[in-house]
Amino acid sequence: MFDSNNSNDIQSSNLNSANNFEKENKVSCNKNDNLSSNLLNNSDDKHLSKDNNSNNVGNSNDNMRNFDCSENSLNNTNEKNLYCDFCIIGAGPAGLTASIYAARAAKNVVVFSGSTPFGQLMNTYDVENYPGFATPIQGPQLMKDMAEQAKCVGVQIIAKQVDKIDILKKKSQKTESSDEEYKFCILYGKSKCYSKICIVTTGATPKWLGLKSEERLKGRGVSSCATCDGAFFKNLTVVVVGGGNTAVEEAIYLSNIAKKVILVHRRNTLRAEAILQKKLFALNNVEFYWNFTLSDIFDDGSFVNEVEIENVQNMKKQRIAADGVFIAIGHAPQTSLVKEILTLDEYGYVKGGQVKTHIDGLYVAGDVVDSVYRQAVTAAAQGCMAAIDALKFLSINEI
Ligand X SMILES: Cc1cc2nc3c(=O)[nH]c(=O)nc-3n(C[C@H](O)[C@H](O)[C@H](O)COP(=O)(O)OP(=O)(O)OC[C@H]3O[C@@H](n4cnc5c(N)ncnc54)[C@H](O)[C@@H]3O)c2cc1C
Least separation in angstroms between residue 142's CB and ligand X is 9
Name the residue nearer to ligand X (CB basis): 56 or 120. Answer: 120
Catalytic-labelled residue, pool 85, 229, 367, 370: 229
Strand partners, 205: 332
Q: Is 99 in the site for ligand X (CB under 6 A)?
A: no
Name the residue nearer to ligand X (CB basis): 64 or 84. Answer: 84
Q: Which of 49-57, 124-132, 284-292, 339-347 is the region at the interface with ligand X (rule: CB under 6 A)?
A: 124-132
Least separation in angstroms between residue 382's CB and ligand X is 8
Q: Is 69 a catalytic residue?
A: no
Q: Is 63 in the site for ligand X (CB under 6 A)?
A: no
Among 99, 108, 202, 245, binds ligand X (CB under 6 A): 202
Q: Is 333 in the site for ligand X (CB under 6 A)?
A: no
Least separation in angstroms between residue 128's CB and ligand X is 6
Q: Is 354 in the site for ligand X (CB under 6 A)?
A: no
Using CB under 6 A as the criterion, what x/- string covers residues 357-386 for binding ligand X?
Answer: ---------xxx-----xxxx-x-------
Q: Is 117 in the site for ligand X (CB under 6 A)?
A: yes
Least separation in angstroms between residue 243's CB and ligand X is 20
Catalytic-labelled residue, pool 84, 152, 198, 228: 228
Q: Is 123 in the site for ligand X (CB under 6 A)?
A: yes
Using CB under 6 A as the criterion, what x/- string covers residues 126-145 for binding ligand X?
Answer: -x-xx---------------
Among 206, 230, 324, 330, binds ligand X (CB under 6 A): 206
Phi, psi dihedrals of residue 96, rounded to the nearest 5°: -70, -40
Mapping DSSP onto H, E and C, the string for the chain reads CCCHHHHHHHHHHHHHHHHHHHHHHHHHHHHHHHHHHHCCCCCCCHHHHHHCCCCECCCCHHHHCCCCCCHHHHCCCCCCCEEEEEEEECCCHHHHHHHHHHHHCCCCEEEECCCCCCCHHHHCCEECCCCCCCCCEEHHHHHHHHHHHHHHCCCEEECCCCCEEEECCCCCCEECCEEEECCEEEEECCEEEEEEEEEECCCEEECCCCCHHHHHCECCCEECCHHHHHHHHCCCEEEEECCCHHHHHHHHHHHCCCCEEEEEECCCCCCCCHHHHHHHHCCCCEEEEECEEEEEEEECCCCEEEEEEEECCCCCEEEEECCEEEECCCEEECCCCCCCCCCECCCCCECCCCCECCCCCEEECHHHCCCCCCCHHHHHHHHHHHHHHHHHHHHHCCC
Q: Is residue 102 a contact partner of residue 391, using CB atoms and an 8 Å limit?
A: yes
Q: List binders of ligand X among 224-283 (CB under 6 A).
A: 224-225, 228
Name the residue nearer to ligand X (CB basis): 39 or 142. Answer: 142
Q: Is 152 a catalytic residue?
A: no
Q: Is 228 a catalytic residue?
A: yes
Least separation in angstroms between residue 149's CB and ligand X is 14
So which residues are the catalytic ones? Answer: 225, 228-229
Residues of this chain that bind ligand X (CB under 6 A): 89-95, 112-121, 123-124, 127, 129-130, 161-162, 201-203, 206, 224-225, 228, 334, 337, 366-368, 374-377, 379
